[in-house]
Amino acid sequence: MDAESLRLAERLLPSTYIKQASDADISRRTKIHQLLEKRKCPDEGWDDQTIEGLLIDLAKMDSNNFPANCGVGEREARIYSGLVAQRHYRLGHGIGRSGDISEVQPKAAGSSLLNKLTNAMVLDLIRRIGIRGTQACLVMPMATGMTVMMTLLSLRDSRPQAKYVLWPRIDQKSCLKSISTAGFEVVVVENVLEGDEIRTDVPALKEKVTSLGAENVAAVLTTTSCFAPRGVDRLEESTDKNFLVPVGGAVVAGFDAHFIEHIGKMYPGRASVSPVLDLFITLLSMGVQGYTALMTQRSQHMEHLRLRMGEVATNLNLKLLQTKNNPISIGLALPEGAGTELGSQLFLRGVSGVRVVTPDQVKVVAGVTLKGWGAHHPNYPHAYLTAAAALGMTRTDVDTFMARLEKCLKKMSNKLKETRADVNEDGLENQ
């Protein structure tokens, strides 16, 4: 209620009760004022009631929620289902306008403000966790692969004659498909082995740029996170992995504000507000302190995962892959004869996310043939499995996974021993 409404309410209730309610409301309003003034992610997370109150206020600013609104256009945020309207807090207009994802939409002041605030909070958080030189960012309503494609398309204006994208190999289909869909030719740069670890072949990368001509290379598409044994670069921008929201969004951030703005102008038409809304709510809920706590916990769980996988490797006489440059994912070499069946066994036991890689696989993606698919290298010497300590993982997840993994590995080891014994017996009988 505004001040006048509260004053009138004092005619019905004791003024002390009204003052208590007013003080609580002022506390919530102060948080909102600070958000609008500073445009930064709050240090402490907000309670759900404050967040929901702000969302209701923002929705009231969109024309479809005006009491006397009369929409006669084709796109008036008409929502048939009450459940759908409730799910989106009645924010039905989306974000952006035709030709610019970040442009303010006249019919949707509330949705536009939400979009601006979300981008500002993400930029602030990126800077505060260590990438201080970041100048701008956009939350895109598409997952990572499509966002990479949009970024590559935006390079055409600045490098119109370029037709190649150099790709230090990372065995994920979305990377290749984003390059192909953007109309560029993929140039694969195979990685090099350094012990157990796979690293980018920087001299080969430089040689490719020289031989093709720098003016003909649109970009070098590297990855910012991946599965062991490949080393990790620096920043991963999908919203689901990094902010614990449903799949559907990605963050584009960079050191050139004009380039980020240009990417936004490449988006054709309006966009769904859903990925932005999810991120807006989550950032307000966790705050900077909540996010940094999650990062600290992730590092601790990584060390615990490494310790437990090392114990299992020792107990079963297996090799833990040494990948010091990968602080997210750990690899465990598998015994000869163990295949992707292990992944199926774990999945049936409620374990998801484990990747089992056998180096003899060949895959054709977007017209590119890749030997040793999944291993990021054509001649990796081991079959292996990987597990990642990602944001949001718990210590219980680690312990439960390791107990189930050890049980499956023991069962598989016994099965392999029996198979080898049968083969040896058959060989003796035939002599």
Which residues are annotated binding-site positions for pyridoxal 5'-phosphate? Answer: 75
Cα-Cα-Cα-Cα dihedral of 371, 372, 374, 377, to 10°? -90
Annotated binding residues, as ranges? 75, 97-98, 105, 270, 349
Q: What values do phi and psi take at 408, rounded to 5?
A: -65, -40
Which residues are documented as binding site for substrate?
97-98, 105, 270
**Burial of 243: CB neighbours in 10 Å, binned 0-12, 13-18, 19+:** buried
> Can you tell me whether residue 371 is helix, strand or coil?
strand
User: Could you write out the DSSP letters of every residue in 223-259?
Assistant: -S---TTBPP-S---BHHHHH---SS-EEEEES-HHH
Percent helix, strand, coil in the chain, to 5, is 50, 15, 35
Note the helical H segments in 47-167: 48-60, 82-87, 109-128, 144-158
Which residue bears the tokens 């600290």?
296
CA–CA gap between residue 337 and residue 30 (Å, rounded) = 63
* Bridging pattern class, strands 197-199 and 192-194: antiparallel
Q: Rounded distance, CA 425 to CA 431, Å?
A: 10
> Which residue ranges are tagged as binding site for tRNA?
349
CA distance 415 to 397: 27
3-state secondary structure of 400: helix
Tokens representing 207 are: 């040689």
* Cβ-Cβ contacts under 8 Å for 294 (sequence gap 6 or more): 244, 286, 391, 392
Q: Rounded distance, CA 180 to CA 190, Å? A: 18
Please state, in angstroms and rounded to a whole number, the distance separating the CA atoms of residues 67 and 61.
11
Q: Which two tokens stand for residue 143?
A: 């997952």
